[in-house]
């Protein structure tokens, strides 16, 4: 039991010595950050402007595609109506032909 009491203080002193020997803490991040130069701000703003322009191009593409889809759907609907009307005319004609042949 006596050995345990002696080992604890020795271990504690070793920890303290190791802590003092380690590298100093890094400075706070806010102090390490540089103030942006005007040139850097200009480059960043140009990059952001390019992203905005690219986004607008994408939006226009989406809008054109939506218009084309609406027009296409209208054509499809118109085509279906023509098919239905044409099939009706064909059936009526066939029935009329059968009536004449009888």
**What secondary structure does DSSP assign to 8-73, as a single string?**
HHHHHHHHHHHHHHSPPPPPPHHHHSPPPPHHHHHHHHHHHHHHHHHHHHHHHHHHHHHHHHHHHH
In a domain, 50, yes or no: no
Q: How far apart are the first and last CA of the chain?
A: 125
- Residue 4 scores a pLDDT above 50: no
Tell whether 16 is covered by a domain. no
The three-point CA angle 65-70-73 to 5° equals 120
Query: Considering the domain boundaries, does residue 68 fall inside one?
Result: yes
44 lies in some domain: no
Mean pLDDT of 16-37: 60
In a domain, 71, yes or no: yes
Q: Is the pLDDT assigned to residue 52 strictly greater than 50?
A: yes
Flag whether 87 is in a domain: yes
Confidence of residue 41 (pLDDT cuts 50, 70, 90): confident
Q: Provide the domain limits for residue 85.
A: 59-102
6-33: average pLDDT:
56
Residue 38 pLDDT: 85
Q: Would 83 be classed as within a structural domain? A: yes
For residue 76, being part of any structural domain is answered with yes
| Model pTM score | 0.50
Give how many domains the chain has, as a whole number: 1
């Amino acid at each position: 039991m006596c050995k345990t009491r002696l080992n604890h203080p020795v271990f504690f002193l070793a920890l303290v010595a190791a802590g003092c020997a380690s590298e100093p803490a890094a400075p706070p991040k806010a102090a390490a950050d540089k103030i942006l130069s005007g040139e850097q701000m200009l480059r960043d703003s140009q990059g952001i402007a390019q992203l905005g322009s690219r986004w607008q191009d994408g939006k226009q593409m989406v809008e054109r595609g939506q218009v084309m889809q609406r027009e296409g759907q209208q054509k499809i609907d118109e085509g279906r109506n023509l098919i239905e009307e044409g099939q009706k005319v064909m059936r009526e004609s066939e029935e009329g032909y059968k009536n004449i042949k009888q």
